[in-house]
Amino acid sequence: MTIDERDIEDYSEAEARAEIDRLHAALSRADRAYFEQDAPEITDAEYDAMKRRYQTLEIAFPELKRPDSLSGKVAGAPVEGFSKVRHAVPMLSLAKAYTDEDVVDFIERARRFFERDKDLKLAFTAEPKIDGLSASLRYENGVFVQGATRGDGAVGEDITANLRTITDIPHKLAGAGWPATIEIRGEVYMTMAEFEALKARSAAVGGQEYVNPRNTAAGSLRQKDPSITASRNLKFFAYAWGYTSADPAPTQFEAVHRFGDWGFKISPYMVRATSVDELIAQYRKIEELRSSLGYDIDGVVYKLDDLELQRRWGFSSGEPRWAVAHKFPAEQATTTVRAIDIQVGRTGTLAPVARLAPVGVGGVVVENVTLHNEDYIAGIDSNGLPIRGDEPIDIRVGDTVVIQRAGDVIPQIVRVVLEKRPADAVPYVFPHTCPVCGSPATRELNEKTGKEDSRRRCTGELICPAQAVEQLKHFASRGAMDIEGLGTENVELLFNSGLVRTAADIFTLKHRRAEVQAAFAARREEQSRQRDAAAGKVRTATRSVAERSFEGLDKLFAAIDGRREPELDRFIFALGIRHIGETTAAVLAKTFSTIAALRDKGLEAAAAGGNLHEVFPSVNGIGDTVWEALRDFFGNERNVVALDSLLAQVTPKEYVVTVSATSEVAGKTVVFTGTLEKLTRGEAKAMAERLGAKVAGSVSKNTDIVVAGPGAGSKLKQAQELGIMVLDEDQWLEMAAK
């Protein structure tokens, strides 16, 4: 995903809201792929860059911070299929350092915090950061009784049976002196040798492909059959603890070495140091050893050594202040650009991709890399300044380039090796027409800043097959219509088979069952043929399409029928109108109440074409960008025809705001803070708004009610200081029910 690199001050409120929504969706999708599906879609560096941009926008526009903000949240969620375990002590993520200066800053923060303690000499530990799956092991009277994954940090999955198969995890602690109850925490991982052996065994039988050791270890640990986990020969390093009835030792260093005495494997590269120079020296040493360790690491973790000082320093935004992960720089390799291709996205964005001569980077063969937009290819940013070197350096077919990789997928280009540029290499000419449908591709002008959009877009909209299929994927996605079973592969299959061209076609699939079944059966037949060919098998007979049933077809049709009366905000978001994310869709739903009212206003705006404020109402949080997007959408006759065809199949629910004359909530401004245990933050907000209340993100003298759950902090304190009514969740529900 391309990050909008504009200066923050160039954003309007509506643009900032749209960008926060876009980043929120992308980060949430990346979290699900990494933590729940063990199949990351972006690199660590790309994820971190998006997260930093997301947090910067939240700081610049605090009123736009979402109730479900990802800032300070531990990513991931318990996976369905295992019973849930609530951690007695949350399993938190660590703050990150990317440079030596970041490490210096971490140490200086510690010294400033403890500066009143005269003659106090601070010590820190340094140890490799294992790239695996975090696990917590509960021991009672020295006996292993329960094991769990980190999950979302508060709740994980019970994988006790699978953890028992790992030989590095003792069933009973050795030695003596362990607390009556202690949760030993560490990392489950797979060695490089075991990973390569598993890949070879799988390839020999035409089995699945494995991406990397980290994902494979995570998938192995979540097997329903513990014997499969046992066959993967997983390993475990212990390095921390959660709940304990007594400290295992006075310091981090001593505690971890006690784990070694009790039968755990601990890192042999953990040291204790008293200066920045010593910590960074250990970082450099571990970095040099990285390729010879036999298992993946992605940095070095520093922790304040004294446990009492750790407790005093405490936590911030869901992270311990007393620890930081110093990440390794992205791994690099050199290759050549064979071609530059253009892919067309849902909103018509022409996304350039470099096709590379295959090169291995960190155990993964890389053949493609995103080039973001035409300015990036030309070597300039949105302000026309060079992004690679002191002068703009463009990227050309035939160029030798240095690429880097910090995660498990497509990396980015670091620099062009100009001295190796072929004499006949010519600047890349970015297309001004869509390569899929031939429609003009334009760069819009931002009237506020006077700058061109960095992205060139196809103007073909729904006549463009590339946009159409991406729009269908969006329509069926979890945040939109949430049609189970209609993921990327199935949407592409149905589109390419000619069975689904518009969203309305999805809802007529049941009446074309035979054709749908034939399409799925043909795909399965082709997949089997390819697997057999790869394994060197000769197919002597092929079952007919009629004999090949698709067992999930009825389930798919039922899922589609279950979405015939969607919530209005989901439906508006599913339409895929530019600049309208989930939050904006919810505001529009509340404003117009019905899809008919929104449609009428959109058509009126398209016909008027003048001052949009004469057509659309004044709505807090909605600016010109959104109104213009609606005008443009309804100004395209093809969009209106497609929408009307869809509305012949589905009936979005009316968005009802219930304002009771006797309600104590109506007209009030409500702020939710802390952890809600009976409602999600989104449900609580929707409930308040439907009762006629306004939900705010911050406490002020205009706030009427603060609903405070466990963990409420500064907002609760501010409410108490201002004399504002404070309710717990039960009291809020009782008031809302009146």
Asked if residues 689 and 655 have their Cβ atoms less than 8 Å apart, the reply is: no
Nearest to 113 by CA among 304, 300, 252: 304
Please report, for residues 379, 394, 421, the alpha-carbon distance to residue 416 in angstroms, rounded to integers and kept in the order given: 10, 8, 8
Q: How far apart are CA 304 and CA 679, in angstroms?
A: 37
d(CA 554, CA 564): 16
Rg value, the chain, Cα: 28
* Gap between the Cα atoms of 98 and 299, Å rounded: 9
According to DSSP, the β-strands at 323-327 and 95-97 are: parallel
- Taking CA atoms, 611 is separated from 240, 602, 627, in Å, by 61, 13, 10
Considering all CA atoms of the chain, what is the largest pairwise distance in Å, rounded to the nearest integer? Answer: 84
User: How do strand 143-149 and strand 457-458 relate by DSSP bridges?
Assistant: unpaired
CA distances from 52 to 30, 47, 322, 346, 502 (A): 15, 9, 21, 25, 36
In contact, 658 and 711? CB cutoff 8 Å: no
Complete DSSP assignment for 476-541: HSTTTT--TT--HHHHHHHHHTTS-SSHHHHTTGGGGHHHHHHHHHHHHHHHHHHHHHHTT-----
The DSSP call for residue 664 is S
CB 382 within 8 A of CB 6: yes
142 φ/ψ sector (left φ>0, alpha ψ -120 to 50, else beta) = left
Pairing mode of beta strands 705-708, 725-727: parallel
Amino acid code (one letter) for 1: M
**Ramachandran region, residue 240 (left: φ > 0; alpha: ψ -120 to 50; beta: rest):** beta
**DSSP H/E element including 69:** none
Token digits for 488?
A: 């990327």
β-strands 297-304, 315-316: how paired? unpaired
User: Which residues does the annotation mark as catalytic?
Assistant: 129
Rounded to whole angstroms, the Cα distance separating 522 from 544 reads: 9
Q: How far apart are the first and last CA of the chain?
A: 46
State the Cα–Cα distance between residues 409 and 717, nearest whole angstrom.
45
Contact 415, 351 (CB under 8 A): no
- Three-class SS state of 164: coil
Query: Strand pairing partners for 236?
Result: 188
Closest CA to 574 of 504, 626, 485: 504
User: HSE of 238 in the Cβ direction (CA atoms, 13 Å)?
Assistant: 28
